[in-house]
Amino acid sequence: MAKGAAQKGKKEKDVAQAPGSSPRLPAGRHGLPREFIEQNQRERIITALVDTVAERGYNATTVAHITKAASVSRRTFYEHFADKEACFLAAYELVADHIRDSMRAAAASFAEWPQQVRAALATMLRFLAAEPDLARLCMVEPVAAGGEIAARHRASMQGFVEILKAGRPSHTGERPLPAATEETLVGGIVSLIVREISAGRGSELEKLLPDLTELILAPYLGAEEAEKLAREDA
């Protein structure tokens, strides 16, 4: 029993001092500016939420779990966040904004729309494959959480929708595309990604790039051209 407790304590210490997270503050009078302390605490709480949600899932995670992992009091938690949902949304926004900005930057490096789509999708898949805890946070847990979190997730997906809508002038079919084409495509992509993450295959997400690119491009360019472009450098 003592050994298990020691191992658990070591794990929590490693989480608090892991690369990319904020270190614990020294006890007592440390003389650090209040602004630094508040920022340090907020970052530790967000990091703790990410780790705890990855381990337990959003619905099973409590404020007590988060504060224990972050080594802060409940009072400190509520000084930064109104509740667990607010803390999750803060973490989600950081990740979603990073993914969106990275996708836009990748797309902007190409002049032609099909290559922009492929570059944006490749960037998203690469990030999700490399960051399993963040992938679960921003792709799987919002669906389980529901409410405002799920609504925010749907809103964040609009960034990819706008990239796809830019391809409407490239449409080669005789009949116009349905108004919901882009939302349907993004919804399908998200469902496939969630399926792979939930099945424990998140590290292999980049393998989906050719198939997902073809799926996206086909309504605009036709099946044959979409397949050709999707398999370039595959």
Instruction: Enumerate residues 6+ apart whose C-beta is below 8 A from 19.
Output: none
Give per-residue pLDDT as tens, 47-82: 999 999 999 999 999 999 999 999 999 999 999 999
Alpha-carbon gap, residue 151 to 165, rounded angstroms: 21
Compare 40 and 90 and report the one with higher pLDDT: 90
Confidence of residue 91 (pLDDT cuts 50, 70, 90): very high
Indicate if the pLDDT at residue 46 is higher than 60: yes
Q: What is the pTM of this model?
A: 0.80
Exposure class string for 173-182: b at 16+ Cβ within 10 A, else e: eeeeeeeebb
Mean predicted confidence (pLDDT) in 160-181: 90
Mean pLDDT of the chain: 85
Q: Which of 2-16, 36-50, 138-152, 181-195 has the lowest mean pLDDT?
A: 2-16
The reported pLDDT for the residue numbered 231 is: 84
- Alpha-carbon distance values, 38 to 33, 77, 121 (Å): 9, 10, 36
Residue 132 vs residue 31, higher pLDDT: 132
Q: Which two tokens stand for residue 31?
A: 């003389």
Segment 25-46 shows an average pLDDT of 65
Alpha-carbon distance 99 to 43, whole Å?
Answer: 19
Q: How confident is the model at residue 2 (pLDDT cuts 50, 70, 90)?
A: very low
DSSP-derived secondary structure letter, 89? H
Q: Please name the residues in contact with 118: beta carbons below 8 A apart, sequence gap of 6 or more.
A: 209, 213, 229, 230, 232
Stretch 39-45: mean pLDDT: 88
pLDDT of residue 190: 94
- The mean per-residue pLDDT over the stretch 112-130 comes to 95
Q: What integer pLDDT is reported at residue 80 of this predicted model?
A: 94
pLDDT recorded at residue 179: 94
Looking at residue 144, its pLDDT comes to 86
* pLDDT value of residue 31: 53
Q: Supply the pLDDT for residue 143.
A: 87
Q: Answer whether residue 34 shows pLDDT above 80.
A: no
Residues 6+ apart with CB under 8 A from 161: 182, 183, 186
Range 195-200 average pLDDT: 95
Distance, in Å, from the CA atom of 200 to the CA atom of 10, rounded to the nearest integer, reads: 26
Calculate ∠ Cα 88-97-45, nearest 5°: 30
Q: Given a cut of 90, is residue 174 above it in pLDDT?
A: no
**pLDDT reading at 138 higher than 50:** yes
Asked if the model's pLDDT at residue 21 lies above 50, the reply is no
